[in-house]
Structure 1
């Protein structure tokens, strides 16, 4: 998996399943230029989005999130390719925790563009987010807390896993300003 040292503890996390499935994709890289990464195109096929999503030149954070959610056994929102559509997933949360889906604005807060990923922790300024299409790969980035539109938790059918908890991390690395 080759996680950065600061995040190596994630390899030992027992859950939630959404996070466990997401970590299996860590390091997937978009193919530069005209080609597309076959793994990313396979995600489109598995999710049934291959008629719409045909190239990794298109923003793919929502595709990644849909693939991960389906692998973990969760339903996805209508039009999951739109990052902001993930605000309809699960149960809204005031305080994000490990494995929660985080939705951010890009460009302007009232605009159309967005980004979606998973909470792995936070520092005073930023959430540490595991997501697809972050610098053209699946990786962890720091995203400013003031860009958060909403946090959503899986709609647990029985009991929420004990691993779902806030995680405080060191503020290492620059803040991301554009995840695409």
Structure 2
């Protein structure tokens, strides 16, 4: 089975294109997870990227394009490992907006969480997010399809 972190890292640096053109790699994330209606890389794609990585690794997916949909996938954990899902709020804690990425680690002062994700400054990269915006960590289980092939 493919490693989540290695699969996500394989996309490091994938970036939105400015202007009328759209990065076919980003559009492929949407297509592979079944959201073929998306035709622009300006569509928020952090969840599409996370779903694509999960699909490539045989893990369960949210199948949705909202970051907070990941709060219902997998198993909640308070002790994340590298590659676990991390979900943050955006705008306001009680809004529908959020961000989803893969956990890398904490800053030395524990005030930030480093994450590997898509649509972080319009690209796949590692970025620090303030811990006060954390909504939760999730461990992904193998997908049903993956379990049937074991």
- Determine whether 1:112 maps to 2:112: no
- Separation in 1 of the partners of 2:117 and 2:124? 5
| Secondary structure in 1 matching 2:102 | strand
| TM-score between both structures, scaled by the size of structure 1 | 0.74
> Could you tell me which residue of structure 2 aligns to residue 122 of structure 1?
106
Change (3 A) 1:106 1:77: same
Q: Which structure is higher in RCO with an 8 Å CA cutoff and minimum separation 6? A: 2
* Structure 1 counterpart of 2:148: none
CA displacement 1:129-176 (0-9 Å, x = unmatched): 00100011000000011101010012269xxxxxxxxxxxxxxxxxxx
User: CA-to-partner distance for each residue in 1:45-91, whole Å, 9 max, x for gaps?
Assistant: 1111112x221111110110010000011121242x10000111111
Distance in structure 2 (CA, Å) of the matches to 1:108 and 1:96: 24
TM-score by length of 2: 0.88
Gaps of at least 5 residues in structure 1 are: 1-14, 158-180
**C-alpha deviations, 1:114-134, integer Å up to 9, x for none?**
000001111111100001000
For the pair 1:76 / 2:56, whether they are aligned, the reply is: no
- Describe the shift of the 1:16–1:48 C-alpha distance in structure 2 as closer, same or farther (beyond 3 A): closer
Q: Which runs of 4+ in 1 moved over 2 A?
A: none
What RMSD in Å do the two structures reach over aligned CA positions?
Answer: 1.6
